[in-house]
Amino acid sequence: MPHIRELNLELGRPSADEALRRLTADLEACRLMHTPAVKLIHGYGSSGRGGRIRTVCRKYLEQARQAGQIVRYIPGERFSIFDEETRQMLNAFPQLRRDPDLDRENRGVTFVFLRH
């Protein structure tokens, strides 16, 4: 079963720019190690309205998806058995069914699926 890596971008309370540098480097490392999926923990901001780390990471992921660098990403708030893209990824990665954020609408995480 393919390994799903977890990457906590909140560790050490980095700036959004530093978190984005870590994300970029870690996704490249995952590609090189043929890791097919990554669970990003970026938080959702202390205001509850969407923090800078979450915002810059998701903007970067959308650009990476459009450029063909990643297959797709699923925001935690959509990570549900009722979401079609999530169901496709649950079929491809059955271990995701055991993830504690499934059906929790957690805006502080994002799932990323890489090209192999």
CATH number at residue 79: 3.30.1370.110
pLDDT of res. 116: 64
Average pLDDT, 10 consecutive residues per value, the chain (116 residues): 86 93 96 95 73 95 96 97 97 95 97 88
Secondary structure (H, E, C), the chain:
CCCEEEEECCCCCCCHHHHHHHHHHHHHHHHHCCCCEEEEECCCCCCCCCCHHHHHHHHHHHHHHHCCCEEEEEEHHHCCCCCHHHHHHHHHCHHHHHCCCCCCCCCCEEEEEECC
What is the predicted pLDDT for the residue at 47? 59
pTM: 0.93
Domain interval for residue 108: 4-114
Instruction: Report how many domains make up the chain.
Output: 1
